[in-house]
Amino acid sequence: MSDTPPNPPFRSGALDQPRMIHPDFPEQHQPAPGLATRMDPLPDHGEESYRGSGRLKGKRALITGGDSGIGAAAAIAFAREGADVAISYLPDEQEDADRVIAAIEAEGRRAAALPGDIRDEGFCKEMVESAVSQLGGLGVLVNNAGRQQYCHRLEDLASEDFDATMKVNVYAPFWITKAALPHMGTGGSIIITSSVQAKSPAGHLFDYAQSKAANVAFAQSLAKQLAPRGIRVNAVCPGPFWTPLQISGGQTPEKAQQHGASQPLGRPGQPVEIAPIYVLLASDEGSYLTGEFFGAVGGSGL
């Protein structure tokens, strides 16, 4: 596979005409975790399309899985809204991370690159401390990194794979949030990326769906704990979005080619199209939003 896909990014639909013909996705597969820079067509993280208005001025945010997909879109949007941003990612994703870091810095914001494996509790603690040190504090935490690998038969799901999914999707947000809380005060916001799978689980995503349901419970339970401290906690539940997760084992190659086609809007979402939800939840405008989950699924509902 070449480093530069032959097709340009396919952009999100116009606001007055959000439905569009489903893109002609070629069959493609990458080894996990996958790179957005090698997808065909390229995802739209908002590199050219997102416009900020200072809604996060003075905020300092840590976003896990911020190198590509929804995490990258949130990172770019946060920077354009005035926030300093740290992103974590796997070392194999450095190519994608470099582009996001450059986009943050292009807005005149501080950026921190934090490569490592969040399946390790020690790294999670070090990552938070590094983010706080490099940004000068922490007010927004986005637990976004996720692992999704399809498996059609429970008998074929290895314990090692089940454990890896739970470590990334359930344990890591616990470890990271626990490390971050001493640095967060009144006005802080914690966001976790769940999934439509939390409410409508597919048979071939047995472990992933369970972990995403846990993410919703994470937000609803922790919101009650942290409300007296003035820290809000919410979950975002995306439907089909065009990210490396889909073409690196998250779906079969055949399903990836038709990703989002069955939705009423007839296409997958672009990462930039969900970024405004993260901006709202991170901003002071969302001051009465806590313990909630927000869907963006292209018309089928949660």
Q: For the segment 193-223, what is each residue's pLDDT rounded down to a tens digit?
A: 999 999 999 999 999 999 999 999 999 999 9
Cβ pair 140, 176 in contact under 8 A: no
The pLDDT, as a whole number, for residue 18 is 56
Say if 115 falls within a structural domain: yes
208 classed as catalytic:
yes
Residue 14 lies in a domain: no
Q: Is 8 a residue whose pLDDT tops 50?
A: no
| Residue 134 covered by a domain | yes
- For the chain, the domain total comes to 1
With 50 as the cut, is the pLDDT of residue 60 above it?
A: yes
Instruction: Reduce the secondary structure of 222-286 to three states and give it as a string.
Output: HHHHHHHHCCEEEEEEECCECCHHHHHHHCCHHHHHCCCCCCCCCCCECHHHCHHHHHHHHCHHH
Give this prediction's pTM.
Answer: 0.92
Q: What is the tens place of the pLDDT at every residue in 223-249? A: 999 999 999 999 999 999 999 988 898
Q: Classify residue 23: in a domain, yes or no.
A: no
The answer to the question of residue 147 being in a domain is yes
Out of 89, 208, 278, 288, pick the active-site residue: 208
Domain limits for position 147:
51-296
The CATH number that applies at residue 88 is 3.40.50.720
Q: Which carries the bigger pLDDT value, residue 42 or residue 117?
A: 117
Would you say residue 243 lies in a domain?
Answer: yes
**Lowest mean per-residue pLDDT among 147-151, 188-192, 249-253, 282-286:** 249-253
Residue 84 pLDDT exceeds 80: yes
**37 inside domain:** no
Q: What percent of the chain has pLDDT over 90?
A: 80
**Does residue 13 sit within a domain?**
no
